[in-house]
Each structure stands twice: as C-alpha cells, then as structure tokens.
C-alpha cells in the first residue's frame, strides 16, 4: 500500500503494484489500444523495460500492429532506491501537464492513450525511431529542426499557460492544481539550487580532479547568493506552467521530428527556468565534445553546430513568443484594448522588448544553475559521464563550471545570446591555445 | 440555493439563508459563545446590523456579559446588488487567512470564535471601543501606536508566509489553497489595475471637475503600462499570503490598540501590494485633509502626523522584516547555513538591503495604483467622498492623482520613504503657494 502526499490528487492505492514484463500485458489487454495499436495476443507481445531515467518504469510493448509505451511511477526514486520514497501522484501531474502541452504544442509531445490512476501509469505513443536527444548529441548527430521545434514548444506552452495567454480564472485554478506537486518541486529546489553549494551526502563529482573547485564553490558567497536568488525566483514567480525538467534527456528526436517527454516536474514558475534547462544541457553537450573527439572526427564543426542550435533556439523562442504576444492572447495581463492606439502600440512594443531581455537574463541565470548541478550535484549527465579519462572529463567540467559561474553571477551583464555563444567559444579556445 | 465557484472549498448550501436581526439569535444560541461571551437569553440580546462595507452582513450582538460580531457573506456584492453574484466561499478564505494571521500577529487581528461553513459566517471578537481607522483619520484623531502596529502586522504576516519564513512544502500547499480565491482576486485585478484606465460602466469620479483628468489617464500609455505591469506582478509573484485589501477601512483602532479585519481577498502575491494598500490610504487621507479643515482646526499639523505615520510605518516595516530575516526563518530560500561565514554574512546583508529597496519600489507602485482606483474607479473612499464641495474635493483628488502617477510610472526613481513624503508635501504646498 502506498500513500500519496497530503493535499494532492489520489493516485495509487491498495491495488497498486509495480508492473513487470508479465503483468504489463494484463494491464494493457483490456484497453482499446491493445487491439487498435498493439495487435495480436498478449502472449505474443514483446515487452522491454527501458527506463533509464532516475524515477520510473518504462515498458515498450509491441505486437503485430505496432506498439505503445507504458510509463509507471515507482513509489521511490529509482536511482537511489526504496530509502527515498516518492509520491505516485507525480504520474497525475505528468498526465495533466501532457494534456495541456498537447493543446499548446500538439505535434511536439507524445500522444496519450490512457491514464490509470490506481497504477500511476500512462499509456502513450511509442516514438520510433526516435532517440533520446542527449544520446544523439553524444554521437554527434545533427537535428536540423531541433532549434525551431524547441523554440516552438517553449513559446507555445509558456505563453499559453501564462497570464498573457490564459484568463486569470483559468490560470489560478491550474496553478492551484500544480502547486500540489510539492515533492518533485522540492527535489528541484534542493538538487538544483542548494546541494551543489554545500556539503551533502548526495553530491558527487570527478574526484580528486574537481575537489578544489567544488570546495571553492562552497565558499563562493556571490555564487551562492545568485543560486539562492534563482531558487527564490523558482519558488515565487508563477509566470507559466513549466515542463520543469527540460533537459536533453527529456527530448526524443529524429532528423525530422522532436518530442518533449516526462513533464512530471511540472509546476508554475519563471519562464526562464525551462529555457535555461534546455540551454544548459546544450552547453554541457558542447563542453563535453572534446571528450568525444576521435581521429576521424575532431568534433570541432559539431560543437559549432550545437552553438548554432543554442543561438537559433533563443532567437526562435523570442520571435515566436513576441509574435504570440503581439497577436494578443486570452490573458488578463496587458489587455490589448488598452494599447490599441498608436502611442499605446509603440509603448507596448518597447515594453515587450524589455520583458524579453529580462526573460533572457533569467534564462541565462538558470542555465548556469542547471550546468553546475549536473557536475557537482547528485544527477549527472551522460555527455560528461561517458568521457572515460577522468582528467579529460574534469577539464571539460571545469570549463563548464567557469561559464556557469559567469552566467549565474553576471547574468544581467550578458547582452545577447550571441555574446553567450562567444563566451562558450572563448572558453574552449583558451584551452586549445 | 447558492452554488460556489468550481474548484474551491464548499461553503454555503441548501440551508444557506442571509441572516437577519432575528435569525442571528437562533444561529448564535447553540454556540458556546452564547453563554460565555454574550450572556442572557437570546430574546433580550440587542442586535445591530452595521455592515458598511461593500460585500457582507455584519451583526453586533450584545447580551448581559458582552457581545460578539457575526460576519456573513452574501451571495452577491452588497453595494451593487444581486446582479453581481459573488461566491460564498470567500468566508472560507477569510477564516483561513485569519487563522494564519492569528499565528503570525496574534494581537493585531480579532479573536475568532466560530466558523459556520453552511451559513458562510464567522463569529468573532467584538472590538470596542474601536473605530474604523478611516473614520478616525477623517475626524483628525491620532493613533500613536498605528505605525508600529501596522509595521508589525505586515512584517510578521508577510515574512511568515513567504519562502523566507515557511518551508516550501507548507507554502506551496497554502498557495494552492488560496489560489482558489479566484473571484475576489479577479475583482482586484479588474477594479485596481484595469477599469480606471478604460471606459467602464462601473467607473465614477467627481464630474465634471475630473472629466478631463480621467480622459487623459485613459490616453496615458506609460501610466497604463505601469498599471498593467503592476497587475502582472499581482498575478504572478506569489511572494507571501497577502491580506489583499489592507486599506484604512480594514483596520479598527483605539489610541492603544490596532486590529486588522476583513482578509477575504487573501491570496498569494507580491508583498508590496499590502504595503502599498496601506500607504495609499494614508496618502488619500492626507490629501483629503484640506477638505476637512475648519476654523478651529486647519488640519496642517494633523496632515503632518499622517505623513509621520507613513514614514514610521515603512521604516518600522523594513526594520522588522530585516530583523526577522536576519534571525533566520523556517523557509527554503536563502538557507542561513549557506551564508554562515563572515564573507557570506556580509554578502547576505548587502543582498537583503537590495531586496528591501526593490520591495519599497514595488510598494510605491502599488500605492499609486491603489490611490488612482479610489478616485476614478468603482469603490471610493469616505476621506474624499465626505468633502461636500465638489470643487474642493476635485482639487484634493487632482493632487492625489498627480502623485499617484509619479509613484506608478517613476517608482524606481523614488529613493526613500522620506523623498515620497516630501513629494506629498510639495504637492500640497504648491497648491497653497
């Protein structure tokens, strides 16, 4: 029996049981998708458990017609074990967020077929031949539509759920709902904004190479202040419904298709948080490239492509978000009728540009926080972890940490995404020179 | 039968009926307070309905021992009528907020004796010989403890419910609850931040004296932008549980005692909103003094006392809020352990000072918005309404509107509460000279 956290939706219960490669067949067989999408008798289906994330079970079930994915929440953190319990209601929040994202960005999330409250399980589209983006970036694959698709995903989901895109009545109700996603939000609050900056059993880093760097960061008052200021922003600024964990492991892609998965950390927060999460993980991929270079491919052109993507992402986001705002949303903030005359229009355009600049600075700060936590905190990224030589890995990590500090402490001094790109280039050039 | 809004707590129901001077006896007689606090047979009690607010019924019930107050929500806006329905669950939010304020500032709110969900009614302490502060300010009464008490109320309630004073788990749950106070929040959103800046049937002003001023404000793009920016802050920045309607009509006072009542608009929002509400209403009282001058009392010294109170309020708030923060709260933002060394301590002190400056600028902006809406919007203040001569009233109102505009558009350029005081003085001096 699994209890859910107080105050949030009831998910799981006496009949909850972690699915396995056998029981998932019984779970699926009564559902319409069994006939329409999988096909054939359950006994002939192939089932693979592929969850490589930190928290859940993920089954790929295939039959004669095709297949589906079943994602089930476990009552504890998978990567740590039963000693770290985690409420099953995160499956509820993931499903709710997916429904909202489906409305805002229909072609950029997986299709949802079924949600089972008792088993805390979501049945969704099997994305094939999609690869987790992070793995593609490690392999050196290029995704020509990635920047544009992620710009569209962020602009459309953030705008639509904000007070620019939703009436206050709808937004307040939605914010109330997701405010109950307390335990997963707390993981973000601790692991992203606090633990990397203090002694914590859960931290780890490339040792001994980064020992001194990690110690210096624990003594770096301006950096800790920046981290806690970003945490306060995360806690207080309910600007839009965030995906909440928008790293490159939460994106599945082919050359021509991009899908965002796993929004179980969804909560209202500052828009810059999602933007920064994606930007941080592109930058981590960039700084890791030196560790993936080979005689055949020095990865120089490829790391340039990653920065092209970073730049195109931000510029695409800005353009799309501004366009949505100029078209006028259903929100209660900045009612278009108040600024319908020429003077109002000019004033409003100037104001929108200022808001985008502020959002950029927010995103830059969160980018730095998300980079730091992946090097000094609990959860690392395969981009860096897969670099076998610890000296080489540490060298990449040190460059990333230097950049991250500048982004966090000096975020308001960074004038543009191009300047940010040049900073990343200079850090790698410096090393080569 | 009265339905409540979707998503919020169930209040009212089939048996709900507006109380009257007879039925309130039946309502009270089964309660313990009937014997312990009122005393005597219900038939000998005296009952007076004294609700002079805009929304509710308020009964004073007295017996042989003493008395109580019964406040009951009506299913419509009292000042407008049944054509403007209003959910009864606001009584739930008021009661919830009163419980939280009682913990944070126990001697500055009325004691609560009973909450009746079905009747949407709160039984609370009868405050005698307290007077509504606004009426005292019109009479020219001085309250030597007012600044200090209101500074304490704001510092303690805002700090305690913020991410400095409450763990995130508790704060997110509380924010979720109050996010359902959607209808009353919408009244604030519309009446404070939008209606005064557009043509609306619900607006009124001293006419024809202010017709041109009102029209100019509807064409004032920078001012409308400032108003909508403040609205966006109100919608997004969940910094603390606000009282939500902290004007001088929500305060009952004697020379030695101050109590804050009527928190039915409670919602998470920017701390500056409550601070600005109180400051705005002091300034409206100040600008109205010329209209209350008589041969016996030119009110010059008294209006100086109002500004002394304004200044002492802000400085007292700042001192108390900083002291609470320095002591260290139970919140998840700016964990004290991260800044425990000397360098961290100095950095944190500098940061706290910067936060107080930002909060001041927020408060200044909300002060301006709250002043404007009381002159051009639906709900006016007795301070100005009681000035019989419309020319004199309009002259006071114009000075207040001029100040309000500067506070909204130029809030970040106002360096201190003393500078704000001097601005108010100069506006009155200018008129005399």
Match 């077929």 to its residue by tokens.
Answer: A113
Of A301, A233, A415, A78, the C-alpha closest to B333 is A233
- For the segment A333-344, what is each residue's pLDDT rounded down to a tens digit? 999 999 999 999
Exposure string for A87-110, b = 16+ CB within 10 A, e = fewer: bbbbbbbbbbbbebbbebbeebbb
A232: chain B residues, CB-CB within 8 Å: 163, 333-334
User: For residue A129, is the peptide bond before it cis, meaning its omega torsion is within 30 degrees of 0?
Assistant: yes
Phi-psi region at A145: left, alpha or beta (left = phi > 0; alpha = psi -120 to 50) = alpha
Q: What is the pLDDT of residue B432?
A: 67
Query: Cα B163 to chain center, whole Å?
Result: 22
**Which strands sit side by side in the sheet containing A67-73, from one edge to the other?**
A46-49, A56-62, A67-73, A121-125, A112-116
Fold of B4-125: Phosphorylase Kinase; domain 1 (3.30.200)
Cis peptide bond upstream of B129, omega within 30: yes
Tell me the nearest-neighbour CA distance from A231 into chain B, angstroms: 6
Structure tokens that stand for A269 in this block: 């927060």
Tens of pLDDT, residue by residue over A367-417, are: 999 999 999 999 999 999 999 999 999 999 999 999 999 999 999 999 999
Cα–Cα distance, B181 to B5 (Å, whole number): 9
Q: H/E element holding B399?
A: helix B390-409
What is the CA angle A355-A358-A359, rounded to 5?
85
CA A260, A373, A136 angle in degrees (round to 5)? 40
Among the ranges given (A128-137, B10-19, B162-171), the one the predictor scored with the smallest mean pLDDT: B10-19
CB–CB contact A173 B229 (8 Å): no
Closest chain A CA to residue B232: A333
- Per residue in B299-311, pLDDT (tens digit) is 999 999 999 999 9
Cβ distance B221 to A7 less than 8 Å, yes or no, reads: no
Question: How far B191 CA lies from chain A's nearest CA (Å)?
Answer: 12
Are B121 and B91 a contacting pair, CB within 8 Å?
yes
- Chain A, nearest residue to B345 by Cα: A221
Q: A179 CA to chain B: closest CA distance, Å?
A: 5
HSE, side-chain direction, 13 A CA sphere, residue B116: 22
Residues B131-432: name the CATH superfamily. Answer: Aminoglycoside phosphotransferase (APH), C-terminal lobe (3.90.1200.10)
Chain A residues near residue B7 by CB distance under 8 angstroms:
173, 176
More confident residue, A85 or B364: B364
Residues 6+ apart with CB under 8 A from B178: B93, B96, B97, B241, B266, B267, B268
Which of B236, B338, B341 has its CB closest to that of A238?
A: B236
Give the closest-approach CA distance of B341 to chain A in angstroms. 9
Confidence of residue B9 (pLDDT cuts 50, 70, 90): low
Interval A80-93 mean pLDDT: 90
The verdict on a CB contact (< 8 Å) between B232 and A182 is: no
Q: Is the pLDDT of residue A7 over 50?
A: no
> Which among A396, A400, A391, A393 has a CA at the least distance from the CA of A372?
A400
Position A78 scores a pLDDT of 81
pLDDT tens digits, one per residue of A218-237: 999 999 999 999 999 999 99
Kindly give the pairing relationship between strand A81-85 and strand A258-260.
Answer: unpaired
CB A58, CB A125: distance < 8 Å = no
* CB proximity list for B177: less than 8 A, separation 6 or greater: A176, B96
B102 neighbors B112 (Cβ within 8 angstroms): yes
In order of A197, A356, B287, B427, the CA distances from B303 in angstroms are 51, 43, 8, 13
CB B108 within 8 A of CB B243: no
Q: Which of B6, B194, B333, B409 to mutate to test the interface with A (most CBs of A within 10 A)?
A: B333
Judge: B228–A338 Cβ closer than 8 Å, yes or no.
yes
Other CB atoms closer than 10 Å to residue A293's CB: what's the count?
A: 15
Q: Kindly determine whether residue A334 and residue B236, on different chains, have CB atoms separated by under 8 Å.
A: no
Residue A251 has pLDDT above 90, yes or no: yes
Question: What phi and psi values does residue A139 have, to the nearest 5 degrees?
Answer: -75, -15
Lowest mean pLDDT among A12-16, B25-29, B339-343, B379-383: A12-16
Write down the H helix ranges in A328-409.
342-376, 382-385, 390-409
- pLDDT (average), residues A119-133: 97
Contact A175/B179, CB-based, under 8 Å? Answer: yes
Give the 3-state secondary structure of residue A3.
Answer: coil
**CB-closest option in B179, B185, B194 to A335:** B194
Give tens-digit pLDDT for A349-359. Answer: 999 999 999 99
Contacts of B237 in chain A (CB under 8 A): 236-238
Q: Where are the domains of chain B?
A: 4-125, 131-432
Chain A residues with CB under 8 Å of B175 CB are 175-176, 179
Whole-model pTM: value is 0.96
Round to whole Å and give the CA distance between A74 and A55: 7
Neighbours of B148 (CB within 10 A): 17
Cβ-defined contact of A179 to B198 (cutoff 8 Å): no
Say which of A163, A198, A344 has its CB closest to residue B235.
Answer: A163
Cα–Cα distance for residue pair A66/A62, rounded to 1 Å:
6
Nearest by CB to B339, which of A176, A221, A236? A221
Closest listed residue to residue A57, CA positions, set A76, A70, A38 = A70
Neighbours of B32 (CB within 10 A): 9
Measured between CA atoms, the residue of chain A closest to residue B338 is A198
Contact B173 A231 (CB under 8 A): no
What is d(CA B309, CA B393) in angstroms, rounded to the nearest whole number?
A: 23
CA distance A382 to A388: 11
Rounded Cα distance, B194 and A333, in Å:
9
- Partner residue opposite B186 with nearest CB, options A169, A183, A344: A169
Contact A221 B175 (CB under 8 A): no
Contact between B231 and A333 using a beta-carbon 8 Å cutoff: yes
Measured between beta carbons, the chain B residues lying within 8 angstroms of A346 are 221
Cβ within 8 Å, pair A179-B176: yes
Q: What is the mean pLDDT of residues A52-65?
A: 90
Kindly list the residues from chain A whose CB atom is less than 8 angstroms away from the CB atom of residue B6.
Answer: 173
Regarding an ipTM greater than 0.85, the answer is yes
- Centroid of chain to Cα B301: 26
In 3D space, the residue among B198, B266, B273, B200 whose CA is nearest the CA of residue B232 turns out to be: B273
Query: Which residue in the block uniquely carries the two structure tokens 């048996």?
Result: B15
Q: Residue B4 above 50 pLDDT?
A: no
Answer whether the bond into residue A208 is a cis peptide, omega within 30°.
Answer: yes
Angle, helices A221-236 vs A342-376, to 10°: value is 120
Residues of chain B in contact with residue A183, where contact means CB-CB under 8 angstroms, are 169
CA distance B344 to B11: 49
State which residue of chain B sits closest to A7, comparing Cα positions: B173
Interchain contact, A173 vs B6, CB within 8 Å:
yes
Contact between B280 and B374 under an 8 Å Cβ cutoff? The reply is yes
Per-residue pLDDT of B16-43, as tens digits, reads: 999 999 999 999 999 999 999 999 999 9
* Average pLDDT of every residue of chain B: 95
**Bridge partner list, B114:** B123
The three-state (H, E, C) secondary structure of A245-267, written as one string: CCCHHHEEECCCCEEECCCCCCE
Whether A361 contacts A351, CB under 8 Å: no
Look-up of token digits 């020379």? B255
Any bridge partners for residue B124, and if so which?
Answer: B69, B112
Q: Give the ranges where B8-89 is alpha helix by DSSP (H).
A: 23-28, 32-33
Contact between residue A321 and residue A358 where contact means Cβ atoms under 8 Å apart: no
CB contact under 8 A, B198 and A337: yes
Between A and B, how many residue pairs show a Cβ–Cβ distance under 8 A? 143
pLDDT digits (tens, 9 = 90+) for B393-433: 999 999 999 999 999 999 999 999 999 999 999 999 877 66
**Does A9 score more than 70 pLDDT?**
no
Q: What chain B residue is nearest to A184 in terms of C-alpha separation?
A: B169
> Is B338 in Cβ contact with A197 (below 8 Å)?
yes
The pLDDT tens digits for A268-288 are 999 999 999 999 999 999 999
Assigned token pair, A206: 């490339």
The pLDDT of residue A3 is 40
């Amino acid at each position: 029996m699994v209890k859910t956290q107080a105050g949030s939706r009831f998910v799981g219960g006496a009949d909850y049981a972690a699915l396995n490669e056998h029981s998932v067949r019984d779970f699926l067989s009564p559902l319409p998708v069994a006939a329409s999408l999988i096909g054939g008798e359950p006994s002939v289906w192939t089932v693979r458990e592929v969850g490589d994330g930190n928290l859940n079970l993920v089954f790929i079930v295939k039959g004669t017609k095709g297949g589906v994915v079943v994602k089930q929440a476990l009552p504890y953190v998978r990567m740590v074990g039963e000693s770290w319990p985690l409420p099953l209601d995160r499956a509820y929040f993931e499903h709710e967020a997916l429904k909202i994202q489906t409305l805002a960005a229909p072609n950029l999330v997986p299709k949802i077929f079924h949600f089972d409250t008792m088993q805390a399980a979501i049945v969704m589209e099997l994305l094939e031949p999609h690869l987790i983006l992070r793995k593609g970036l490690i392999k050196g694959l290029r995704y020509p539509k990635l920047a544009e698709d992620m710009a569209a995903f962020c602009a459309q989901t953030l705008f639509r759920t904000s007070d620019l895109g939703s009436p206050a009545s709808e937004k307040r109700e939605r914010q109330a709902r997701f405010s109950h996603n307390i335990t997963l939000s707390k993981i973000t609050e601790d692991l992203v904004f606090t633990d990397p900056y203090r002694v914590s059993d859960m931290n780890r880093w490339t040792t001994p190479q980064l020992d001194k760097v990690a110690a210096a960061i624990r003594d770096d008052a301006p950096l800790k202040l920046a981290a806690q200021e970003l945490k306060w922003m995360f806690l207080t600024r309910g600007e839009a419904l965030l995906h909440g964990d928008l790293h490159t492991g939460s994106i599945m892609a082919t050359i021509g298709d991009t899908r965002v998965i796993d929004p179980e950390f969804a909560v209202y927060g500052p828009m810059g948080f999602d933007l920064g999460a994606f930007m941080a993980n592109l930058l981590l991929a960039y700084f890791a490239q030196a560790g993936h270079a080979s005689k055949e491919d020095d990865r120089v052109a490829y790391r340039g492509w990653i920065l092209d993507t970073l730049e195109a992402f931000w510029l695409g986001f800005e353009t799309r978000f501004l366009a949505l705002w100029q078209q006028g949303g259903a929100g209660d903030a900045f009612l278009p009728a108040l600024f319908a005359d020429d003077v109002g229009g000019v004033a409003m355009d100037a104001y929108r540009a200022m808001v985008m600049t502020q959002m950029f600075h927010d995103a830059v700060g969160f980018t730095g926080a998300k980079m730091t936590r992946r090097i000094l905190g609990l959860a690392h990224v395969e981009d860096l972890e897969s670099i076998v030589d610890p000296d080489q890995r540490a060298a990449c990590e040190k460059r990333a940490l230097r950049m991250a500090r500048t982004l966090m402490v000096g975020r308001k001094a960074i004038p543009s995404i191009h300047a940010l790109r040049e900073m990343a280039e200079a850090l790698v050039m410096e090393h080569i020179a």
